[in-house]
Amino acid sequence: MGNLLIVLGALFVLLLLVVPLIERFGGKQSDRDISKLSRFILPLVALLLLLQAIRHFFF
């Protein structure tokens, strides 16, 4: 249980450090670029759900 708390604590600290760095140095994306990426999110989530259901019921 102690190892789990250490790993979770380290991940939380790294998250607090990495997110501001990505926001600062990540560069600005246009609305057009974001809309191109966002149209793939829903089909990918549906595919993920389908694959997880297949894995759950058949394997």
Q: How confident is the model at residue 56 (pLDDT cuts 50, 70, 90)?
A: very high
Q: How far is CA 47 from CA 42, 43, 51, 52, 59, in A?
A: 9, 6, 6, 9, 17
Whole-number pLDDT of residue 37: 87
User: Rounded CA gap, 8 and 31, in Å?
Assistant: 34
Give this prediction's pTM. 0.54
Domain layout of the chain by residue ranges: 2-58
Whole-number pLDDT of residue 26: 85
Q: What is the pLDDT of residues 17-42, one digit of tens each?
A: 999 999 899 888 889 988 988 999 99
Q: Report the candidate in 49, 47, 46, 44 with the shortest Cα–Cα distance to residue 57.
A: 49
| Percent above pLDDT 70 for the chain | 100
